[in-house]
Amino acid sequence: MSKTSEVGSQTADVRGADRKKTAVVRAAACGLALALLLLACTAPVPFEFLTFSLKPAHLGQVYADTIRTAGGRGEVSMRISAGQLPPGIGLRVADTNGILYGTPTRVGDYEFTVEARDSSLTESPVPVELISHGFALFVDSL
């Protein structure tokens, strides 16, 4: 009878150990799931352009259009890196967007590239590449 009770107590100990292992595995799985969820929620949104085309402009009439970006966390700077804007039109930055504004003084097709940089990304441990996109702006004579 003592052998049965020993075996019974060992079986009970094994079951208890299995339950503890199962509880540890479940806790680890929950911790991993929570870590992945936090990572997904805090992963940075890529810095990118949201505007890909511009509305046409009319000679001698005030023009305004917005070049939108998303994903930036800091101050965004923009510049024309290639080509040229129509004479009379300029680019300025407001928040994370570029504003094209002015009164065009010459008819034509103008192609240019806008380069944008997010100032907060320069402190990132990952090397930062500038984003750029080519645009075309047509100025007609009405």
What DSSP string describes 52-63?
-----EETTS-E
71 and 119, same domain (yes or no)? yes
Q: Write out pLDDT tens, residues 51-101.
A: 999 999 999 999 999 999 998 777 889 999 999 999 999 999 988 899 999
Give the pTM.
0.66
> Domain of 109?
48-140
Q: Are 91 and 116 in contact (CB under 8 A)?
A: no
56 and 121, same domain (yes or no)? yes
Q: How many domains in the chain?
A: 2
54 and 102, same domain (yes or no)? yes
**What whole-number percentage of the chain has pLDDT above 70?**
63
pLDDT at position 127 is 47
* Nearest one of 138, 135, 56, 66 to 100, comparing CA atoms: 66
67 and 97, same domain (yes or no)? yes
